[in-house]
Structure 1
Amino acid sequence: MHSDTARAVRPPHDTDQDEKTPKATGPAPTWDPQQYLRHAGHRARPFLDLLARIPALPAEPGRPARIADLGCGPGNVTALLTDRWPDARITGFDLSPEMLQRATEEYAGPTAGGGSLDFAHADLADWVPEETYDLIVSNAALQWVPNHPGSFAAWINGLRPGGTFAFQIPGNFTAPSHALLHALCDAPRWRSRLGGHGARYTHLLEPAEYMDRFTGLGCAVDVWETTYYQLLTGTDPVLDWVKGTALRPVLTALGDDRVAVDAFLGEYRDLLRGAYPPGPRGTVFPFRRIFAIARKEA
């Protein structure tokens, strides 16, 4: 999953439950590229599956493909685009200074196929294409963008005829890993500091709803979902996984209060141990992902 390319805020909803739940506020999460990359293999697999289904781009001989990666994170997944389009000009966009620094240091510059790879600061909450792209792609970033369906028209408009917008996002926000985090953040001990931080993802749509949005924009659409059964190893591996993603807003909110951080992580760890007991070869962590590919009319 990519880093927070958008303001990590919880969108408003008109439900009784949301009226009872404090809205998460505060600065965007601070990201730790090293922690995120501890599970790089599992995190990259959905992007590779997405990449395999993207149709041919409208780029022509003498005009290399122009590609934008929204929510590039530490750049390791962005670099995979050069395998499919070796001469493309690729820009990864992200909000996190920590992620952009890592991506630039590791991957920016000319590519082996004669293309280029660079990285730029952007907030997906208000990002619009300033040039025309053959492909706009996003890997596990749009869950941080409450208004992202409202941007689809502008992003599709920024594609060449026959161009593609493709993304994948987590679809596991009712899973124990997130339900327990939500409940703990809203528990009496933590509610005043963390209330709402565990329920940031209620704005995500279901696959059929994404399909409806893109067909309404005149696109040819390919939408599907996959649940990956990931075998994680090590001590408290599910906690280690979420430290790189879902826990970032919580850890940012607790800041340098080590007593609070350790206490919260201890409580959450015990809950996760009950929900995801280890087996003889590791801990099974089911992870549902939602995929969408929208191709603009040629």
Structure 2
Amino acid sequence: MNGASREALVAARERLDALTDNTSVDAAELAGELAAVTALLDREVSLRRVLTDPAQAGEAKAELAARLLSGQVGGETVDLVSGMVRSRWSQSRDLVDAVEELANTADLTAAQRSGALDDVEDELFRFGRIVASSTALRAALTDRTATATAKGELLRSLLGGKANAVTERLIVRLVTAPRGRSLEGGLESLSKLAAARRDRMVAVVTSAVPLTDRQKQRLGAVLAKVYGRQMHLNLDVDPTVLGGISVRVGDELIDGSVASRLDEASRRLAG
């Protein structure tokens, strides 16, 4: 992507990250809905052209997207896609590519939450190696005369119960809707997305009240500086912490809550 599309994609990624910071959002369900929107936009050329028409006001395009999607997908997906069509896109197809990337990223977020992201990354790599070593399998998966249903059934017979559910969903979507990409190129893109996701450290932040956007930005920047890596914040609200926040990064706990300080004071008095 170039120019406006690249900027629009960066903004869309940030909105997705902000949305999935809320652990109550079902990332896997969000991924499925975004994949459905991808299929719709890929199929309906005139629609995606309208939604990316620079002559149309962004708000008008967002309202159109909301009318079309409301009742078909959840509110989070409607808001996310509406925000995307407000942006400018260099080409209409770039919007479809962006929605698809967000669908895959949401699925990888689901894997990350369950602690399975490393497994998914490894399984994507190993599946690529299997395809590369089997001419017959590659031919079956890329056969243009075979239906998407048949390819999906073949993949489920190969991966079902043997690979993580996220890995299976990602590969099935790639094979059944390649959108002009080679199988190898698609698998490489998925592997890069998984690697990028893994490189973001995850901080579980518990606070007595919801953090403001400014507080989240400042906390993320401070943690990124401390750990030397981009930080993903998983936010939780627990009134029992009384005040302040506690932050867990991996096995390390950074506890600045009032409750923890009271407990420490009580221990010192008792001693």
Instruction: Considering fraction of residues, name the structure with more helix.
Output: 2
- Fold similarity call, TM over 0.5: no
Instruction: Considering fraction of residues, name the structure with more strand.
Output: 1
Whose RCO is larger (CA < 8 A, sep 6+)?
1
- Give me the TM-score of the superposition, normalised by structure 2: 0.28
- Give me the TM-score of the superposition, normalised by structure 1: 0.27
Larger of the two Rg values belongs to structure? 2
